[in-house]
Amino acid sequence: MRTPGLVATKTGPVLGLAGADVVEFRAIPFAGPVGGERRFRRAVPPEPWREPLRAGTWPKMAPQPWGGMTAENEAYAASVFGDPYVTSWTEDGLYLNLWTPAPDDALRPVLVWLHGGGFYFGQPTRERENGRVLSAREDVVIVAPSHRLGPLGYLDTRELLGGDANVGLHDIVLALEWVRDNIAAFGGDPGNVTVFGESGGGQKVHALLAMPSAAGLFHRGVCQSGVFRAPTIPGGISRERARAVTDAIVAQAGGAGALLELPADRLAVLALPPGEVWQPVLDEASLPVPVPEAIAAGASAGIPLLLGTDADEMRVLGRDYGIPSTLEELATALGSEALARHYLGGAGSGTPAARLAGERAITDAWFRMPAIALAESRIRAGAAPVFLYEVRWSNPDRPDVGAGHGTETTLVFGNLDAVGAFRGVPSGRSLSVHMGAAWASFARTGTPVLPDGPWPAYTLERHETVLWDDPPVRADDPAAPDRLATAAALTPRDG
């Protein structure tokens, strides 16, 4: 008699946790060790095993900065993003978690989740990102891989150590190859794979669209509150800029050779030069040209995209990054005094109204306008349809969160009860069901649906956008005033 949670993979059998609605597999290795002599090199598949691997324990997270927040900020973060299942780390930690209604031959749509945290932080094991509810409710298979972060994933050691570039992105490609080779045994369809991610995870989806090695491994993409934006995170920094980052890290480590000897937890917290963040570098083997340039030239043109943002992204992120609230601060942040004046309107510098204007302006600059730019670039390249959204729903009892960064993740996964900021809000429950259904229909057919009918594709004529509220509504060009002001302020003038 077949054990319900026992599945044979290409490298060995795995035994999951059979529940009432789904079978859950935790910490399935999709790669071998990446520490020691494998540090800074592309991962390879794991060595085969014979005895069933008990996939019942959450994997440790990748080395990264952890802790250092005040108790107040830790409590706030937990109330917005949910608690992590683990806080310990391991360098040899390339694993994936998987949820399936049944490991049978049903060939269900597969959704591969890429966690947020930029390119230096995060894990696929938080309460809000547990795939159990979405998998059961929508009859889909969900896979959530880990991947290397920070210097272990993106330090450019090609010249110093002969290492590989962008090994964190290559980890994701290897996980997608694992999906291609194994997912049918878990009830998934290797010919229908959607990659979706939030924040830094959305940027990783954006990068995969431009990576030649990822071609054919996924068939739809979803970027939630995260695509590349120039000049800060341009989707591939130059070799010269990457070398300056490497030089700074080498100096702190005590020499190039020390990069291989330094404990991973110490390497993960070395400081970047001012103004830099961990991100991919240009590399012939992974990102030959910057991601936006590749998209404009037609990369992955056949892959439909679902893109969007939250209305109050910076309500949450402003606690870490700060919000400009004077004309001078906002003009510096936006690179345009005219654009700063547009957002401030009649609000006096330093007032609560000016802070809200600054919050909206940075939300647009970092999130909404880059998403619109990506949508329009795809259309101009003659690519597959793009579907745009904005989340406007929020818990009226938590104005400190609003429709803040990450709101759509909790809603799509259906884990409102696990996140304090959204627990017990009736309108959130119905919206969560509708959003999960829309994401699942996009994964199933390439076209998302709304509760009352079709979701219109974005066009350059009408700028169709779905506003996720209770109830969701279709709108034509809701970003028009800010979109046009941004275009006018940032378009170079002759003379």
- The mean per-residue pLDDT over the stretch 234-262 comes to 96
φ/ψ of 224, rounded to 5, equals: -105, 115
pLDDT recorded at residue 490:
78
What totals of helices (H) and strands (E) does the chain contain, helices first? Answer: 18, 16
Annotated catalytic residues are 199
Q: What is the mean pLDDT of the chain?
A: 95
pLDDT recorded at residue 222:
98
For domain 6-490, give the fold: Rossmann fold (3.40.50)
Q: Other C-beta atoms within 10 Å of 148: how many? A: 29
Cα–Cα distance for residue pair 243/155, rounded to 1 Å: 9
Closest CA to 9 of 214, 177, 172: 177
Residue-level length of the chain: 495
Question: In sequence order, what DSSP letters do the residues of 21-84 get, joined into one string?
Answer: S-EEEEEEE-S---SGGGTTS---PPPP--SPEE--SPPPBPS-------HHHHHHHHHHH--B
Closest CA to 211 of 306, 110, 94, 294: 294
pLDDT recorded at residue 494:
53
Per-domain residue ranges for the chain? 6-490
- pLDDT of residue 1 exceeding 50, the answer is no
* Torsion of Cα atoms, 310 then 311 then 314 then 319, to 10°: -90
Closest CA to 202 of 230, 171, 225, 176: 225
Bridge partners of residue 283, in order along the sequence: 287
48-58 b/e (C-beta count within 10 Å ≥ 16 → b): eeeebbebeeb
pLDDT tens for 193-211 read: 999 999 999 999 999 999 9
- pLDDT of residue 492 exceeding 80, the answer is no
Say whether the peptide bond before residue 109 is cis (omega within 30 degrees of 0).
Answer: no
Instruction: Give the global pTM.
Output: 0.97
Structure tokens at 198: 């939030």
The identity of residue 29, as a single letter, is: P
Q: What percent of the chain has pLDDT over 90?
A: 92
Cα–Cα distance for residue pair 58/108, rounded to 1 Å: 24
pLDDT recorded at residue 495:
44
Instruction: With residue 276 as reference, give the H or E element that holds it.
Output: none
